Amino acid sequence: MSIQSTAGSFQFRTNEIAYGVRVSIRDGEGYVDRLPLEQKWSEAGYACDYPALTVVSDGTRWIAWLAHKDKADEVMVSNGSKVFHISGRGDLHAPAIASDGKDRVQVVWPGQENGTFYLYGSVFRNGSWSKPGSKPEKLAAGGGNNLAPQLASDGLGHMALVWQGFRNRQSVALARLWNGNGWTTEQVVSEGSGNSWAPSAAYGGGKLWLAWGSYASGAYQIYAREWQQPVTRVTPGDNFSVRALIAVTASGKPVIAWEESDALWGKDFSYIVDRRGTVEYKNRRVRVAYLDGAEWKEIAAPVADSMPPEIRRFLQQPQIAFDSAGRL
């Protein structure tokens, strides 16, 4: 490919530009990046956000997202050939989606009713969504608001639903399990007196692992546990650590990515005392750790090294997964 401009000309071969490898041109005056080709899945006329994706056993991709139009939200889902409106209109928030590995695609989202957010769900099975024309199934109903649902599947018919809920004036991490026939009752999976935030879940090697953020220590930190096993603290120190996402290897080893800033984040005394706090958007880093025996260890290669130096100050909201070959 040849490019001509008033600043000069250059050439490159497209088959020599790999994903994730920036190629410098004209002695560093510019660069070439290879980008994936995007596909539009949403319908025209809506403002869309919060996409979530799952892949079913035949390789079909399903995407759920939140769509806004005329002062109301909807949850929409598509398999690439058709867009389904599954929620009805209302005050809704970010959906989660997962496939059980067999014949079930599950979508869950928060919806506000009479001032409280509950969790609702709908299922695609045998070519259609559950209970067409009726209200979606209510999956979290009690105690207070229910937010930030996440779904995980073992690919063998089992799923885990985790979310942040308010119970007895405290924010906690909650979970329900799908055993192939029905959902278990909700269970609090976080511990301690501090508020817990935004849990995530993942299966691997026959194990279910959960991770979340908590203020139990007086600073935002990351905690994790294998299902029905003791809670472990992942992050040492006092750095601001939030938005934990977890993946599990085929052998059952958990790996967690999270977002980090400096200690005393968001405190009001940033400039007036010797031990200054960290202003709210000073920086963001993504860190990754894995469990080695009983110890959480950070991976050797910093995530920031994969990004251009000019944008490394603000890396946030990580996503993490293993592919079929076990690559992170």
pLDDT at position 317: 92
- Model confidence pLDDT, tens digit, residues 245-287: 999 999 999 999 999 998 888 776 656 666 677 878 888 999 9
Q: Using CB atoms within 10 A of its CB, is residue 27 exposed (0-12), middle (13-18) or buried (19+)?
A: exposed
For residue 267, give both structure tokens.
């405190």
- Model confidence pLDDT, tens digit, residues 177-222: 999 889 999 999 999 989 999 999 999 999 999 999 999 999 999 9
Total domains in the chain come to 2
pLDDT at position 134: 63
- Model confidence pLDDT, tens digit, residues 146-168: 999 999 999 999 999 999 999 99
- HSE-CB at 131 with a 13 A cutoff on CA atoms is 12
How far is 96 from 163, CA to CA, in rounded Å?
10
Task: Tell me the whole-structure pTM to 2 decimals.
Answer: 0.90
- CA distance readout (Å), 93 to 26, 49, 73, 108, 313: 47, 9, 8, 10, 29
Q: How confident is the model at residue 133 (pLDDT cuts 50, 70, 90)?
A: low
* Dihedral over alpha carbons 298, 301, 302, 306 (to 10 degrees): -150
Q: Do 156 and 264 share a structural domain?
A: yes
- Model confidence pLDDT, tens digit, residues 11-24: 888 888 888 788 88
143: nearest Cα among 116, 120, 112: 116
How far is 111 from 121, CA to CA, in rounded Å?
10
Q: Do 120 and 223 share a structural domain?
A: yes
pLDDT at position 147: 97
Q: Do 112 and 177 share a structural domain?
A: yes
Whose tokens are 């139990």? That residue is 216
pLDDT at position 65: 98
Q: How confident is the model at residue 7 (pLDDT cuts 50, 70, 90)?
A: confident
Indicate if the pLDDT at residue 131 is higher than 80: no
Q: Do 27 and 168 share a structural domain?
A: no
pLDDT at position 138: 92
Query: How remote is the C-alpha of 163 from its chain's centroid?
Result: 11
For the segment 110-122, the average pLDDT, to the nearest whole number, is 95
CATH number at residue 93: 2.120.10.10
**Structural domain for 1, as ranges:** 1-38
Q: Do 56 and 30 share a structural domain?
A: no
326 part of a folded domain: no
